[in-house]
Chain A
Amino acid sequence: MCLAVPMQVKEIDDNMARVEVGGTVQHVRLDLVSEKPELGDYVIVHAGFALQRLDREEALETLKLFQEGLDIELV
């Protein structure tokens, strides 16, 4: 039930955002995010609300911690 899906922000209108993943589009509320996302950011979506912006740099750090010589760049 705590399933939450990372979706990409396509449009922001005041306290709402249009987000998308794999062709599925949703409109979510931004009331709960502590850091407002920007267009192109990924947010974790749960029950119609964005809960958190996904941090790309932290993702890369986590990968590198366990893996030597990783060929991944931040896009």
Chain B
Amino acid sequence: MNLFDSFKDPELCRSVLDKIRSELRGELRFMEVCGTHTVSIFRSGIRSLLPDSVKHLSGPGCPVCVTHDREVAAFLELAARDDVIVATFGDLMRVPGPDRATLKAAQAEGARVRIVYSPFDALQLAVNNPTEKVVFLGVGFETTAPTVAATVRMAAEQGVSNFSVLSFHKLVPPALQALVDDDELRVQAFLLPGHVSTIIGIEPYRFLAEERNLPAVVGGFEPLDILQALLLFVRQHNDGAPAVVNNYKRAVADAGNPKAVSVMHEVFTTGDALWRGIGTIPDSGLSFSESFRAFDAREVFSLDLPDVRELPGCRCGDVLKGKIRPDQCPLFKKACTPASPVGPCMVSTEGSCAAYYKYQL
């Protein structure tokens, strides 16, 4: 058996599942905060194999889903400019902004919007089009932010002056803090995001166990990784000994990736950020540090976040906080479907509404 394939092995999964079943006492409500976990839990069939007493909640783990309406409005404002080429990850193309306008629709009407796979490709676009202004839409968590930071640093080294980034990056630990500060949250354990942790390590999560008595496990994305994390929750729960555990050691060093963190903090500083459904969370975003301000699209184009009317009826915010299931939203599968999404949780393939629609029905 190939070593890495073992984490998909049905027999190994079954044996861990049996242990969960036999050792679990009472109910276990766990939340994951990573869109890739959301999809993996649905697609692998784990959800249907778990005992009814294990409740799965999807938290604010999809960067597209937590992008605020006002941030989407800023994307659209940039795309409407004649002097700008907008470069973006494909995920953002169909996210509805005010009046359900999208980048995709703007592109169809002539706006110059290009999908790129890497922020580095956006920089290349700027180098290849020296008379145009290229703006990369910086959306993503700690996994993505270092790749954007490294690209900005390259732009500075190469003296590329027609490249800038609209940084709406967000940080996971402050969002977890905001979640656990909400008295209505009834989560007993957190499955922590694997690839965010590859960058930041496990230290930033300590408060979950130490201050809140919540078990928290950094887990990988294969079925066995997820089941092992659940078994660890059950055992910590039974023993009354919550801890933050790194169970994805093949990809996550306890100290994270210091090189990536250092590039991220060289280019960006932390500041408040707007999260859809949650509001402003202190120190949960990344804005440009003084030395790299020349690459800040907000400064270059004097952009303010436009005021917008919230999407009527959409309960993405309550879904993101685990307060309701996607099918409890009045729009779900009626006005809001993957083909015609109202809220971002239905747009992104990693959104909980989209996953629920695709796998649960």
Contacts and interface: CB of A to CB of B under 8 A. Distances in A.
Interface in A48-75: 48-49, 51-52, 54-56, 58-63, 65-67, 70-72, 74-75
B111 to A, nearest CB: 22
A2 B195 contact: yes
A58 B249 contact: yes
B91 A63 contact: no
Interface residues of B, number: 53
Interface stretch (B47-55, B255-263, B281-289): B255-263
Contacts of B198: 4, 44, 51-52
Given A56-B3, A66-B231, A72-B6, A1 B140 contact: yes
A67 B15 contact: yes
Contact of A2 (B15, B193, B259): B193
A67 B14 CA distance: 11
B202 interface: no
B350 A1 contact: yes
Contacts of B146: 32, 49, 51
B284 to A, nearest CB: 16
Interface stretch (B114-122, B206-214, B320-328): B114-122
A61 B3 contact: no
Contacts of A32: 146-147, 150, 257, 259-260, 263
A2 B144 contact: yes
A55 B139 contact: no
Contacts of A47: 89, 117-119, 140, 144, 147
B77 to A, nearest CB: 22
B63 interface: yes
Contacts of B91: 1
A75 B4 contact: no
B143 interface: yes
A67 B250 contact: no
Nearest to A52: B198
B15 to A, nearest CB: 7
Given A47-B117, A66-B228, A67-B15, A2 B257 contact: no
Nearest to B149: A32
A46 B147 contact: yes
A44 B199 CA distance: 11
A34 interface: yes
A42 B249 contact: no
B260 A51 contact: yes
Contacts of A61: 249
B250 A62 contact: yes
A54 B143 contact: no
A11 interface: no
Given A32-B150, A66-B228, A2 B3 contact: no
Interface in B271-311: none
Interface string A16-49: 0000000000000101111000000010101111
Interface of B: 1-4, 6-7, 12, 15-16, 34-36, 62-64, 89, 91, 117-121, 139-141, 143-144, 146-147, 150, 193-196, 198-199, 224, 228, 231, 247-253, 257-260, 263, 348, 350
13 contacts: A1-B143, A1-B348, A2-B143, A3-B195, A44-B198, A49-B118, A52-B252, A55-B251, A59-B250, A67-B12, A71-B1, A72-B1, A75-B3
Given A1-B91, A1-B143, A56-B250, 9 more contacts: A1-B141, A2-B35, A2-B140, A6-B251, A33-B257, A47-B147, A58-B250, A60-B3, A67-B15
Interface of A: 1-4, 6, 29, 31-34, 42, 44, 46-49, 51-52, 54-56, 58-63, 65-67, 70-72, 74-75
